[in-house]
A and B are shown apart, each in its own frame.
Chain A
Amino acid sequence: KAGVTQTPRYLIKTRGQQVTLSCSPISGHRSVSWYQQTPGQGLQFLFEYFSETQRNKGNFPGRFSGRQFSNSRSEMNVSTLELGDSALYLCASSLSPTDTQYFGPGTRLTVL
């Protein structure tokens, strides 16, 4: 089975721009979670989607949003980028919300 894929792998944006990141889960997995990883804050939970519904959301501003499509693929969007949004964004998929999460390679976002 193919693993979790994330596109693009690398992104460079400037402050004020917006960005969309994509995640394709493992086939058959219906739950997708997003995490932000930075050296200072570590791994922080952004949100989780299951069957196209957001089930949980972490403590991030409204500039961070996401959605899930009927084929379980998910996207996250960050609007009005700030320098502090530079991070590795990781997507994880699981069969259901309480099952083991398998991670993708991440998208490295750099905001200049």
Chain B
Amino acid sequence: AQSVTQPDIHITVSEGASLELRCNYSYGATPYLFWYVQSPGQGLQLLLKYFSGDTLVQGIKGFEAEFKRSQSSFNLRKPSVHWSDAAEYFCAVGSLSSNDYKLSFGAGTTVTVRA
């Protein structure tokens, strides 16, 4: 069965500094990979996704992520964070097994941005 690990529960970063959120997955084949962001009391907003092709994908709000097959990772990065980036971030893996598709989520990483 597939699993998703986000090793960092909470990250604090200064405004203007760079941000990297880690995501590791366990799945036999190449999965569909996603990053979502959730602001307090809100639903999940899709930041970016990877299905195939270029392993560096660009998303909304200046975020990018890189798929590294050898490390089973899909880390999210942003060069310069803004106070509005404070939120909870979820990595998700879509996997297909016996014609059933399942989207599995990591536990999430909460990002705090300090002035």
Question: Which B residues are in CB contact (< 8 Å) with A42?
Answer: 105, 107-108
A97 close to B101 (CB less than 8 A): yes
Chain B, interface SS category = strand
B34 CB within 8 Å of chain A:
yes
Please tell me the size bucket of the interface on A: 20 to 34
State whether the Cβ of B103 lies closer than 8 Å to any Cβ in chain A: yes
Number of CB contacts from chain A to chain B under 8 A: 40
Decide if A13 is an interface residue (CB 8 Å cutoff): no
> Min CB distance, B9 to chain A, in Å?
11
Q: What's the least CB distance linking A8 to chain B, in Å?
A: 14
**Can you give 22 contacting A-B residue pairs, CB < 8 Å?**
A4-B43, A33-B103, A42-B105, A42-B107, A42-B108, A43-B105, A43-B108, A45-B102, A45-B103, A55-B100, A56-B101, A56-B102, A90-B43, A90-B44, A92-B44, A98-B32, A98-B96, A101-B103, A103-B36, A103-B44, A104-B43, A106-B43
Q: Which residues of A contact B (CB under 8 A)?
A: 4, 6, 33, 42-43, 45, 55-56, 90, 92, 97-98, 100-106, 108
Q: Which 5 A-B pairs have the closest CB atoms?
A: A103-B43, A103-B44, A43-B105, A105-B43, A98-B101
Q: Which residues of B contact A (CB under 8 A)?
A: 32, 34, 36, 41-46, 49, 90, 94, 96, 100-105, 107-108
